[in-house]
Amino acid sequence: MNNRVVSNRGRNGVVGTQNRRNLVRAQAAKKPKQRNIFEGKRPWVELVDGKPVNGPDLSCVVDGVKFPNPFVIGSGPPGTNYHVMKKAFDEGWGGVIAKTVTLDSSKVINVTPRYARMKSSSNQKEVIGWENIELVSDRPFEKMMAEFKRLKDEYPDRVLIASIMEEYNKDAWEELIGRCEECGVDIFELNFSCPHGMPERRMGAAMGQDCDLLEEVCGWVNDAANIPVWAKMTPNITDITNPGKVALDAGLEGLAAINTIQSVMGINLDSLRPEPCVEGYSTPGGYSSKAVKPIALAKVMSLATMINEKYEGKKSLSGIGGVETGMDAAEFLLLGCDTVQVCTGVMIHGYPLVQNLCAEVQEFMVKHDFKSIDEFRGKSLPFFTSHTHLVQLQKEAQERKKAAKSGLKSDAEWTGDGFTSETESMVSN
C-alpha cells in the first residue's frame, strides 16, 4: 500500500469544506421519483441515497470505502459524463465508475455504428449478447476532471471511481493519478483489459496480458496513489490469476473482473460483411451481456480462490459479467465478490434497474435468513474442487450406499420400527 491510508470513509469528502458541499448539494436539481421499470413483474424497492427504505441492509465497506449497496455502474457508456453519472446516483447506484479517461483524448476517435447485438432465437426482444468496438472516453480530460469535482461536491457521500488508462509512461500515470485525486475520487480502477483499440500503444489488454509490463506499471501506480486501487483484469488470457497476482503483489488493494471477451459478433449473410459494419468493414470487439456470465463466474471463482489462498482473503474483488438480475448478482457475491458491476445491463434496461437488483438480493437474503452481505459473501467458494476429488467423492458415496444396502447379518438384527426399510435393504432390484 506504500503510505496509503485506508479508513472507514476512504477518500469520501476530501475536496473542499463540508459546508460548501452541503450548499452545492442543496442547490442540485430535485431527484426524479423512482419507479419500477418492470411494472410489477420484478421485485422493487425504493432507494434513498442508495439505501433501501426497508428490508435487509445491503451496505458494505470495501477497502475502507462505504457503499450503500454493492451495485456499481461499470466503466463504459453509462458513466460518460456528469449528467448520466448524476442520474445513476439519483436512481440509487452504490457507486459509479466513470468511462475510462486518459490525459490526451484527442487520440481517441470512435466510429458509428459501434455496437452489435445477439438476440434470443426464441424471443427477438431478448438481448443475450452485446459486442462493442467503442474506445475509452473521447471527452477532454479537463472537462472530465471538472465533472468529477462537481459530482463529488453534490454527492460527497457517494462513491465515485475513476477508471484510468495510459501508455507505458511513468510520468503520464503519475500525472493522471494526481489530477484525479485532486477532484476527490474515492477509488481508482486501472483499465488493463480493454480488448480492442490502441494495442499498438500497449494500452488496455495489451498491457494486462504482459505480466512484466503490468508489474512495473502497478508499481508506479501503487507508489503514486493515496486512495485504494483496483486492477481490472482481462479474460482474454489463459490463466487470469497470473496477472491478478502480479497486480496484488505490487500493493494494489483489489481486482475487478471480467472486462469484455474479444469477439466477432457475426457475418451479415446478405451483405457478406461483418457486424458491426463501418463503411463495409469491422474489427474484433468486446463481448458482454448475459451470455458471458458463466465465463465471468469461472474467472471470478479462480481469482477469489487465489485471494483466499495467497492473501488470506484480505484483498477485494469486484465482479463483472452478464448481471441483469439480483439472482445473477447473488452468484457473484457467493463466490467472494465485494461489489458487483453492471454496464451492458444498464444500457439495455436503464439506470432504475438498480432498484430491482437490490430488491431481488434482499429477497434472496430473506429466503436464507441472511442479515448482511458479509454473512453469505464467498459462501459457495469452498464447494469448488478438482475433478479428481469429484471422482473420489462419488466413489465414497457409492460405497456408503452399497454398505447401507448390505442387509442384516442375522435374524437378531431385525427391529420392529425399521422392519420395512430393513426388508428393502436386502432387495436386489
Query: What would the pLDDT profile of 22-66 be if each residue is shown by its tens digit?
Result: 555 555 556 678 999 999 999 999 999 999 999 999 999 999 999
Q: DSSP class of residue 196?
A: S
- Mean of pLDDT over the chain: 91
270-285 pLDDT, tens per residue? Answer: 999 999 999 999 999 9
Three-class secondary structure of residue 346 per DSSP: helix
Q: Per-residue confidence at 407, pLDDT binned at 50, 70, 90?
A: confident
Residue 402: Cβ within 10 Å count: 9
154-180 pLDDT, tens per residue? Answer: 999 999 999 999 999 999 999 999 999
Question: Can you give the pLDDT at residue 11?
Answer: 45
Among 253, 246, 189, 192, residue whose Cα is nearest residue 216? 246
- List the beta bridge partners of residue 281: 278
Count of helices and strands (H, E) across the chain: 13, 18
pLDDT score of 418 more than 50: yes
Residue 182: Cβ within 10 Å count: 13
Question: Can you give the pLDDT at residue 15?
Answer: 45
pLDDT score of 185 more than 60: yes
Percentage of the chain modeled with pLDDT above 70: 91
Q: Per-residue confidence at 192, pLDDT binned at 50, 70, 90?
A: very high
Do the Cβ atoms of 336 and 381 come closer than 8 Å?
A: yes
* Cα gap 189→140, rounded to integer Å: 19
Question: Can you give the pLDDT at residue 1?
Answer: 55
Check residue 243 and give left, alpha or beta (phi > 0: left; psi -120 to 50: alpha).
alpha
pLDDT score of 384 more than 60: yes
Three-class secondary structure of residue 35 per DSSP: coil
76-123 pLDDT, tens per residue? Answer: 999 999 999 999 999 999 999 999 999 999 888 899 999 999 999 899
Q: Which comes out higher in pLDDT, residue 125 or 277?
A: 277
Torsion of CA 374, 376, 378, 383, to 10 degrees: 160
Which triple of cell numbers denotes residue 312?
A: 488470506
129-150 pLDDT, tens per residue? Answer: 989 999 899 999 999 999 999 9
pLDDT score of 426 more than 80: no
Three-class secondary structure of residue 215 per DSSP: helix
Residues that are catalytic: 194
Question: Can you give the pLDDT at residue 419?
Answer: 85
Kindly give the residue spans of alpha helices, DSSP state H, lying in 102-209.
141-154, 170-182, 205-208
342-363 pLDDT, tens per residue? Answer: 999 999 999 999 999 999 999 9
